Structure 1
Amino acid sequence: MFKIPGHHHISMITKNAQANNQFYQKVLGMRRVKKTVNQDNPSMYHLFYGDLTGSAGTELSFFEMPLAGRTYRGTNAITQIGLLVPSLESLEYWKRRFELLDVTHGELTTYAGRAALPFEDTEGLRLILLNNNGEEIPESWSAWEDSIIGKDHRILGIGAVEITVRYLERTARTLRDIFGYVEVARSENEAIYQSVAGQAFGEIVVKQQEGPSEKPGKGSIHHLAIRVKNEEELRYWDKAVKERGFQSSGIVDRFYFQSLYFRDSNGILFEIATDGPGFTADSTIEELGGKLDLPPFLEEQRAEIEAKLAPID
């Protein structure tokens, strides 16, 4: 059996690509590693932020939907993104920075056993900084040295991702019985799972909450992608998902990676995505994120696509 080595990326909805671009680059100091479009609807931007190359496990991605309304929070949704920072001093640095830049944030707290600082982006997306405390990170993660944030406090990558569901055990079975996640903590209404035991870069916090399902809008999370090495592993997981009775999209070629999609019994949308070929498939490391990149099958439509997109920095 193959093992899941951690998160791949997580995708959200933004109403305003320009404001989103400003926040994640100029406030959080992440690198925009790809400016492209939604391959299923090329009229909207798809922006990716991450480390030097947008390594699997560091990528935050956003679909721009200018007509998106507000998010009505509820259950059966992915509800919070953890981002790892190097130390407790980093959390204190970020608290001061958020105060200076008027970013909505809470107080220093503890989350999933780690010192933490919750905050929101300009559209109410819930994020939380987590103290990685000098622990191991994937070898593939590469720091972006041109970040406006110094190396001692820079965001490293994605940590614990929170999923809120009406029936905890349904999602627990998906993680545990299909993908081999290890349950490392359990209380009455919460369980914590790790794809790599002891490591935060593949951690999922599942919370049980009754009530209406979330109605997505700007600042909501669309799906969580988990990481696999290559197409061989992807085909293995496609078969495993189907054998459990879930409907799979089948393998989809996204050019920068291959992936498949399915919803669990609580309606949570998961993607399974390969490490490669990565964002340097059509760009040098130095050029990443600078221009509008399109997969080959959309290249003939470039003029039409660009005409419909508002320029962003």
Structure 2
Amino acid sequence: MDPIAPHGLHHVTAVATDPQRNIDFYTTVLGLRLVKQTVNFDRPELYHLYYGDEEGRPSTLLTFFPWPEAPAGQLGSGLATATAFSIPPESLGWWQQRLAALKVDADAPVRRTDEEVIAFRDPDGLVIELVAADGDFRSGWDGAAAIPAEHAVRGLHAITMTEAALEPTADLLAGMLGMTLGAESGDRARFTMVGDNPGTLVDVTAGADEKGRQAGGTVHHVAFRAPDRETQAQWREQLIEAGAKVTEILDRQYFTSIYFREPGGVLFEIATDQPGFTVDEPLLELGRTLKLPPWLEPNREQIENTLPALQLPGV
């Protein structure tokens, strides 16, 4: 049986520290929409914050577990070490000026795989890249007053994984996950998922001497898109048959998920596109109030008393 190939990145989830600082940075500096305010279903004393486009569509999502006591993480092998968003090619200079005006310490643009890239870090040290990408016609979120629609961040473009060795991870991406090996430059290899949609790129850099440490300012996991639960179940069966240790299908309220680790150690998730973020609140009100899944709703008062109060944009 041919491997079932993902049709794009679904989301990237990272570890933050201060939830208010996290909201301020991603809604104000990058102009993403806070599309869901919920909790870590496995640790409901912590928030789980989702940012994306107007509807929180798959391939636009960056999410965070804000953990105030988290120590600083360390980049290295076995981690996703950069999360790239696409911007219109003509917006590169505008974003350089915006980041400088907001005193965000950004690197000078570099050319990589025929793309111009600006790299910087969020307040916790998470590496974010803005890529001037042709052919991305997503609208992004145009509700951020300080960011004109023509310059808005479009959505996820690529993730970069750092590994000690390329081959084991490359074998999984190109074999079990059906990706195509594209450009190679030095110690960097680019893998492309099926289809012409944006947000379908995985870059792998190899040769890292030190093991990464997952904590504040690092990526927790990378999620790929499955169109429906049936495809997700088939994918799970194929992964198990290939010897991967895969979780059961878990209900994440806005999608269902399975998790496994690739050979280098990065935690992968396969998440369904549906039902999406309007399953428990209207589109216009996304992210405005704390939403809990049915099994945590009886504990709402206790959970709300544990979580710090948040000041939301525009409220």
The secondary structure found in structure 1 opposite 2:149 is: coil
Hey, what does 2:104 align to over in structure 1? 103
Segment drifting more, 14-23 vs 148-157: 148-157
Q: Residues 107 and 173 of structure 1: is their aligned pair in 2 closer, same or farther, counting only changes over 3 Å? A: same
The CA distance in 2 between the partners of 1:63 and 1:249, in whole Å, is: 20
Segment drifting more, 145-154 vs 14-23: 145-154
The CA distance in 2 between the partners of 1:264 and 1:162, in whole Å, is: 14
Give the percent of matched residue pairs that are identical in Structure 1 and Structure 2. 35
The CA distance in 2 between the partners of 1:142 and 1:105, in whole Å, is: 24
The secondary structure found in structure 2 opposite 1:286 is: helix
Select the residue among 142, 146, 157 that pairs with 2:143: 146
Cα deviation code 1:111-151 (max 9, x no counterpart): 23211111111111101100122x045xxx55433123111
Gaps of 5+ in 1: none
Cα deviation code 1:148-189 (max 9, x no counterpart): 311111000001110000111111111110111111112442
Matched, 1:192 2:193: no
1:12–1:221 contact (8 Å) kept in structure 2: yes
The CA distance in 2 between the partners of 1:169 and 1:183, in whole Å, is: 12
Paired AA for residue 257 in structure 1: F
The CA distance in 2 between the partners of 1:132 and 1:225, in whole Å, is: 21
The offset of 1:280, in angstroms, is 0.4
The CA distance in 2 between the partners of 1:21 and 1:295, in whole Å, is: 22
The secondary structure found in structure 2 opposite 1:124 is: coil
Paired AA for residue 126 in structure 1: V
The CA distance in 1 between the partners of 2:51 and 2:23, in whole Å, is: 9
Hey, what does 1:120 align to over in structure 2? 121
Hey, what does 1:293 align to over in structure 2? 291
The CA distance in 2 between the partners of 1:80 and 1:136, in whole Å, is: 20
1:194–1:200 contact (8 Å) kept in structure 2: no
The CA distance in 2 between the partners of 1:34 and 1:63, in whole Å, is: 12
Paired AA for residue 102 in structure 2: L
Matched, 1:21 2:18: no
Q: Residues 13 and 255 of structure 1: is their aligned pair in 2 closer, same or farther, counting only changes over 3 Å? A: same
Segment drifting more, 111-120 vs 34-43: 111-120
Gaps of 5+ in 2: none
The secondary structure found in structure 2 opposite 1:277 is: coil
The CA distance in 2 between the partners of 1:254 and 1:73, in whole Å, is: 28
Select the residue among 264, 267, 271 that pairs with 2:265: 267
1:230–1:276 contact (8 Å) kept in structure 2: yes
Cα deviation code 1:38-67 (max 9, x no counterpart): 000000000000000110000000001111
The CA distance in 1 between the partners of 2:10 and 2:211, in whole Å, is: 25
The offset of 1:200, in angstroms, is 4.7
The CA distance in 2 between the partners of 1:231 and 1:268, in whole Å, is: 23
The CA distance in 2 between the partners of 1:189 and 1:198, in whole Å, is: 26
Segment drifting more, 185-194 vs 222-231: 185-194
Query: How large is the RMSD of aligned CA atoms in angstroms?
Result: 1.4
Q: Residues 230 and 267 of structure 1: is their aligned pair in 2 closer, same or farther, counting only changes over 3 Å? A: same
Hey, what does 2:43 align to over in structure 1? 41
Cα deviation code 1:85-130 (max 9, x no counterpart): 012x311101101110000100111123211111111111101100
What count of residue pairs does the alignment treat as equivalent? Answer: 308
1:80–1:128 contact (8 Å) kept in structure 2: yes
1:33–1:48 contact (8 Å) kept in structure 2: yes
The secondary structure found in structure 1 opposite 2:260 is: strand
The CA distance in 2 between the partners of 1:53 and 1:223, in whole Å, is: 22
